Amino acid sequence: MKQAATRVPSEARLNVVRPRLLLRHPGAALLIALAGAMGMLYYHLFLFMPRALEVRSAKGLGGGYSFGNDFYPVWLTSREALLNHRDPYDAEITQELQIGLFGRPLDARHPLDPSRRYREFAYPAFVDLLFWPLAYLPFPIVRVLLAISLPIITAGGLLLWLRAIDLRASPSLVALFLLLTLCNYPILEALFAEQLGLVVGFALAASIAALTAGKYRTAGVLFGLTTIKPQMVVLLISFLLLWSAAKWRERRRLAESFAATQALLCCSALLVWPQWIQQWVRVLFGYRDYSGAPLVIDILGPRFGPIIGPAIIGGMIGVSLAVAWRVRKYSVVCQEFRLAVGLLLAVTVVAILPGQAVYDHILLLPGILLAVGSWHRLLPSQRLIRRLTAIATAALSWQWIAALAIVAIRPLISPQRFYSAEIFALPIRMAEPFPFVLLALLAVLMLTGLRPEFQPCAQTKSLQSSA
């Protein structure tokens, strides 16, 4: 019995990914990945985005910044707050944001205009304090700096996730991961808009890596920084606070440093803007009117989404809480803990984030890596897992295959036919279904990992804090 109890945790951990297990010819696979990545990069930068800007201009909204448009509100409100002591949530600031982004303020009388509150500053006020050094630079220079730094931190986040989930791979396989991570539709959208979700993705990867290394205080500080976009981390942070409380003596430094970081951020902002919390809450309630429904409601359509979507979301969140409770005592090195992290982030994408927020799908990266790391166990396992793995692989690969096909057929058909929705949008067709397939796969893996024979992993000693 002792031998079985000590052997199970090591089996529950993520094994090394070897090219001979996952890819028989890693060099050829790297060349194929390079072709797919370049095809997607060309499609997004030279076909998709120019077409999107044409549509935007046709609506009379093309007179402002497009590249870097998601960071522009942070830059402008930071600049106005620190140089002119203005309130980032003020209605006049919102109009100035719209002028910078669209060339004019939005007008309710214009039938093609979004809500007049569209693009108002929706971040916690302390975001402006975190990025205040950039406020002293012109926005064109800020865009260039972010265009250089965001791909670097996205690649760094991938490497940190590999370390955090103990996924050791050959250099050629790491290069393949980097190519496909940087050159896929959601990440390219985030890079073009210069989205802070990429910063959150990096901070999450760094925090889980620090947690795995036993540096609980560092992990808590990094988790605190992820709350610049709280909707992306609300489920995961709830789980980690529960996990910390389950063995308080060993793990309390995580919760304490997170709470201290949050207090520092919020109180610093209160010193500058005493009413910011009330104003931010008001913005959040208004945000629902123009941000779009969660992905699960969006994909169900206008007929069924509003009816059954909320019940599905409630069920997903309930299952997430049950998983969090079940895994609360597991060691951070157990695969069940890692799967819980990937599962909760996938649920966040499907049930909490707006359907159009594809740029925040960086949260799916750990789940994808966990599935890749389990590849050698998935193929000979249950038929359901094999089928889900095949569907997830096809759904993820679709964008690169379709992008290459689109680039190849462009000279062969007329522009009218090429830019039709049936053809032109092919590479992004799987952006909405893929999170559901990945979530299903992670859920089945989670249920398999929580079988009674894996329970000794919950009793293994947690990493001691070295912070």
Q: What is the DSSP string of 248-263?
A: HHHHHHHHHHHHHHHH
Angle subtended by helix axes 139-164 and 365-373, to nearest 10: 30
Average pLDDT over residues 410-418: 92
Q: Where are the beta strands (DSSP E) in 301-355?
A: none
pLDDT at 373: 82
pLDDT of residue 12: 40
Q: pLDDT confidence of 21, banded at 50, 70, 90?
A: very low
Specify if 290 maps to a domain. Answer: yes
Say whether 294 sits in a helix, a strand or coil.
strand
Residue 259 lies in a domain: yes
- Res. 189: pLDDT tops 90: yes
Average pLDDT over residues 50-54: 94
Q: Measuring CA to CA, how many Å separate 195 from each of 23, 313, 408? A: 33, 25, 30
Comparing CA positions, the residue from 322, 323, 337 lying closest to residue 457 is 337
pLDDT tens digits, 379-412: 666 778 888 888 999 999 999 999 999 999 999 9
Residues in the chain: 467
Number of Cβ atoms within 10 Å of the Cβ of 303: 7
Identify which of 349, 342, 346, 312 has the alpha carbon closest to the alpha carbon of residue 327.
342
Residue 175 pLDDT > 70, yes or no?
yes
Distance CA 297, CA 274 (A): 36
Residues 402 and 387 sit within 8 Å (Cβ to Cβ): no
| Domain range enclosing 415 | 21-459
Average pLDDT for 249-267: 97
Is 292 a residue whose pLDDT tops 90?
Answer: no
Using pLDDT thresholds of 50, 70 and 90, give the confidence band for residue 216.
very high
Give the phi and the psi of residue 169 in degrees, each rounded to 5: -135, 160
Alpha helices in 60-215 (DSSP H): 72-84, 91-102, 126-130, 139-164, 171-182, 185-193, 197-212
Alpha carbons 256 and 251: distance in angstroms, whole number? 9
Specify whether the CB–CB gap between 179 and 37 falls below 8 A. yes
Residue 65 and residue 139 in contact, taking contact as beta carbons nearer than 8 Å: yes
Amino acid identity, residue 429? R
C-alpha 167/C-alpha 16 separation (Å) is: 6
DSSP 463: P
User: What gap in Å lies between CA 363 and CA 341, rounded to an integer?
Assistant: 10
Has residue 3 got a pLDDT over 50? no
Task: Output the pLDDT for position 195.
Answer: 97
Q: What gap in Å lies between CA 240 and CA 252, rounded to an integer? A: 11
The CA distance from 116 to 108, in Å, is 6
What is the per-residue pLDDT across 421-459, written as a single tens digit (0 to 9) for each? 899 999 999 999 999 999 999 998 888 766 554 444 644
Residue 267 lies in a domain: yes
294 beta partners: 354
Does any domain span residue 284? yes
Give strand pairing partners of 354: 294
Within a domain: 413: yes
The pLDDT score that the predictor gives to residue 65 is 93
CA-based R_g, the chain, Å: 23
pLDDT averaged over every residue in the chain: 88
> Among residues 208, 224, 257, 221, which one has the least CA distance to residue 463?
208
Q: Residue 370 has what pLDDT?
A: 92
| pLDDT > 70: percent of the chain | 89
SS3 120: coil
Report the predicted TM-score, pTM, of the whole model to 2 decimal places.
0.91
The predicted structure's pLDDT at residue 372: 87
pLDDT in tens, 76-121: 999 999 888 899 999 999 999 999 999 999 987 888 888 888 889 9
- Give the residue-averaged pLDDT of 255-265: 97
* Most confident stretch, 23-37, 277-291, 317-331, 453-467: 317-331
| Position 460 confidence tier, pLDDT thresholds 50, 70, 90 | very low
In a domain, 88, yes or no: yes
Nearest to 297 by CA among 399, 392, 432: 432
5 in any annotated domain: no
- At residue 281's C-alpha, the angle toward residues 275 and 284, to 5°, is 140
Domains in the chain, number: 1
Find, among 369, 359, 367, 427, the residue nearest to 397 by Cα: 427
Is residue 175 one of the residues assigned to a domain? yes
